[in-house]
Chain A
Amino acid sequence: MGDRPLAETELVALAQGGDSRAYQTLVEEHQTIAFRTAYLITGSAADAEDAVQEAFVKAFYALGRFRPDAPFRPWVLRIVANEARNTRRSAGRRERLALRATEDPLSGGAVPSPETALLGSEQREELLAAVEELREEDRLVIGCRYLLGLSEEETAAALDWRRGTVKSRLSRALGRLRERMEVRA
């Protein structure tokens, strides 16, 4: 495929032409965010894996409907999240989101500074518990935007909402989270 790494638009163009190796590279680049998004929705690593694998296969066959000037990530996250919702529905249950903060966030030798200060472990557990107590819609929008770091556009694609809806629901979800944190404090 040449000496330099191919840009995403080039990889997409190759994949659209049926190049499965180019598509494999695209999958490698997006599999982690796809898996975490599916995990946020299904609450199960096994279900998330099934959903993401299925979604990437479907996305390959749907590449004909992808506009090459559009960003690939929101497009594929929409398919992943949709598949994750289907998987969860067929599983007939909704497991509690089992997010677990890393035990020792300082093990990497990072020096906390005011800007990048890591949360104290107690504060972190409180915040995580408060997020998990939220209603699903609130938890998903906060999860997508902050825990996964998705953009507004990507969050809208993953949750199948309009961007305006993401804005308003996020604002309400933060309000309710703030209330919960105050109750806990």
Chain B
Amino acid sequence: MTELEQALTRLGAEIEFPETPELAASVRRRLAGAPRRRNLGRTLALGFAALAVLVGAALAVPPARSAVLDWLGLRGATVERVETLPRVPATAATALELGRPVPIEDGHPLVKVPLVLVPTALGPPDAAYVSDAVPGGKVSLVYEPRDGLPRSRFTGVGVLVTQFSGEASPGFVSKLVDQGVTVERLTVEGRPGLWIEGGPHALLFRGPDGEILEDTARLAGNTLLVEHGSVLVRLEGEVSRERALEIAASLD
């Protein structure tokens, strides 16, 4: 280091910068404020609840959540690779937690949500549900099994399309995966997405401290997550990557 560089380094140590304002608290208030606009009571109860999907072949019963080995994410969604998966129910259908059924009219569910995307490649859904069990709410579209849409051993249906408000709770849908599962970052019509394949995964919520709320956990199959503007779309079914991408590309 030259003399000039040394002098500059010393100058840096001696400069009196304006006092750093207390930013951490104001940032936290701003972050907490975002979901509060939508549903105050629910948000206060859940805090930054997170919906997690765990992926893995073996379902061990560790006492606590295991170390995070890897991480991928979207707005409102995370995928974590862990050593061992927490326990989740072996039977899925009972834990689907879709909420209350809503009527479908002209191929669209009648819900008071600003934007509900329907995959036109699959046509109108066979059933639709809404739930406010998560911040921002969720809308689920159910497609019954048919040619090219085998019945999922995890959901009991053909394809399940779930939509969350990705802005209501960042890091909200998260997936834990273990080594046997492939996670691929991709884009669908230019929108960021994640494809998870190769093993069952379990769907669950995280509480405000990151703890897993066990009663919401269930197993799930191949899943495509797509960030569609402020909406996070989760598409689950025993379909190939290509078919899932085709269905996701038709979201309208």
Query: A interface vs B, CB < 8 Å?
Result: 13-25, 27-28, 31-32, 34-36, 39, 45, 48-49, 52-53, 56-57, 60-61, 63-65, 67-68, 99-103, 105, 116-119, 123-124, 127-128, 131, 142, 145-149, 174, 177-178, 181
Whether the Cβ atoms of A45 and B15 lie closer than 8 Å is no
| 7 A-B pairs with C-beta separation under 8 A | A17-B52, A27-B27, A36-B17, A64-B73, A64-B78, A145-B8, A177-B4
Residue of A13, A16, A17, A105 most packed against chain B (CB within 10 A): A17
Quick one: given A17-B174, A20-B32, are A101 and B209 in contact (CB under 8 Å)? no
Contact present for A127 and B70 (CB under 8 Å)? no
Whether B31 lies near A147 (C-beta < 8 A) is no
Number of interface residues of B (CB under 8 A): 50
Report yes or no: B4 in contact with A174, Cβ–Cβ below 8 A: yes
CA distance A35 to B22 in the complex (A): 10
Chain A residue at minimal CB-CB distance from B21: A49
The 8 Å CB contact of B170, one of A18, A34, A147, A174, is A18
Chain A residues whose CB sits within 8 angstroms of the CB of B8 once the complex forms: 127, 131, 142, 145-147
In the complex, residue of chain A having the shortest beta-carbon distance to the beta carbon of B72: A64
Q: Closest chain B residue to A115 by CB distance? A: B6
Task: Assess whether B20 is interfacial by the CB under 8 Å rule.
Answer: yes
A68 and B71 within 8 A (CB): yes
The number of inter-chain residue pairs (CB within 8 angstroms) is: 158
Q: Mark B8-43, 1 if CB is under 8 A from A, else 0.
A: 111110111110110111111011100000000000
Q: Is B206 an interface residue (CB 8 A)?
A: yes
- On whether A57 and B31 interact (CB within 8 A), knowing A45-B18, A64-B171, the answer reads yes
Cβ distance A96 to chain B, nearest Cβ, rounded Å? 14
Q: Which residues does chain B contribute within 8 Å of A131, judged by CB atoms?
A: 8, 11
Contact yes or no, A19 B48, CB < 8 A: yes
Specify which chain A residues have a CB less than 8 angstroms from the CB of B25 in the assembled complex: 24
4 more CB-based (< 8 A) A-B contacts, given A19-B210, A102-B16: A17-B78, A17-B171, A27-B28, A123-B7
Q: Kindly list chain B residues whose C-beta atoms are within 8 Å of the C-beta of A34.
A: 23
CA distance A73 to B222 in the complex (A): 35
Query: In the assembled complex, how far is the CB of residue B213 from the closest CB belonging to chain A, in whole angstroms?
Result: 13
Bound Cα distance from A45 to B21, whole angstroms: 9
Pick the contact of B75: A24, A49, A57, A61 (CB < 8 A): A61
Contact A31 B20 (CB under 8 A): yes
A35 to B20, alpha carbons, bound, how many Å? 6
* CB contact between A16 and one of B7, B73, B169 (< 8 Å): that residue: B73
Taking a contact as CB atoms under 8 Å apart, the answer to whether A57 and B77 are in contact is no
In the assembled complex, B50 has its CB within 8 A of some CB on chain A: yes
Docked CA distance A19–B77 (Å): 13
Q: Are B210 and A14 in contact (CB under 8 A)?
A: yes
B22 (CB) vs chain A CBs: closest residue: A31
A18 is contacted by which of B5, B7, B169 (Cβ under 8 Å)? Answer: B169
Min Cβ gap A99→B in Å is: 5
Chain B neighbourhood of A149, CB < 8 A? 9, 12
A18 near B50 with CB under 8 A, answer yes
Interface residue B238 (Cβ < 8 Å from any Cβ of A):
no
Q: How long is the Cα–Cα vector from A87 to B173 in the complex, in angstroms? A: 32
CA of A148 to CA of B167 in the docked complex: distance in angstroms? 34
Tell me the complex Cα distance, A178–B28, Å. Answer: 44
Residue of B nearest to A174 (CB): B4
Among A16, A105, A148, residue most surrounded by chain B Cβ atoms (within 10 Å) = A16
